[in-house]
């Protein structure tokens, strides 16, 4: 029996950096009504991106995708594929798990602190 999986997979144009993911109203509604499995593997792997740009794409973009998945009526699986070097400050063997940040902060606290910085302070953090 031939699988019809190709008939059930369809790409949509969007943009992680935009509110609503830059989806057309039709695409958004189709995803909300029809999607069962959502895989987010979109990200910037340019490790020289300005800090705020990298946050907008890799952090907030993922949150935007998760928000879409939470609104999907038939969602069964949401999978996020992370970028490389997410634990780049570690040496030796790095397990596939979420590590605590240095200093005991959680990621949301760190992002909030970064967003409160003025442009010059952000630039200094990038060095």
* 24-66 per-position pLDDT tens digit: 999 999 999 999 999 988 888 887 889 999 899 988 999 999 9
Which residue(s) pair with 77 in the sheet? 37
- Start-to-end C-alpha separation, the chain: 57
In this model, does residue 9 exceed pLDDT 50? yes
What is this structure's pTM?
A: 0.80
Q: Is 39 helix (H, G, I), strand (E, B) or coil?
A: strand
Neighbours of 64 (CB within 10 A): 22
Residue 50's contacts (CB-CB under 8 Å, 6 or more residues apart) are: 122, 126
């Amino acid at each position: 029996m031939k699988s019809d999986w190709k008939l059930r997979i369809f790409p949509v144009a969007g943009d992680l950096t935009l509110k609503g993911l830059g989806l057309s109203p039709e695409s958004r509604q189709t995803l909300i009504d029809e999607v069962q499995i959502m895989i987010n593997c979109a990200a910037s792997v340019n490790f020289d991106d300005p800090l705020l740009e990298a946050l907008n794409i890799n952090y907030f973009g993922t949150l935007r995708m998760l928000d879409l998945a939470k609104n999907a009526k038939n969602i069964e699986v949401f999978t996020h594929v992370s970028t490389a070097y997410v634990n780049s400050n570690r040496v030796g063997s790095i397990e596939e798990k979420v590590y605590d940040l240095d200093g005991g902060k959680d990621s949301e606290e760190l992002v909030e602190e970064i967003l409160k910085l003025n442009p010059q302070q952000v630039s200094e953090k990038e060095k």
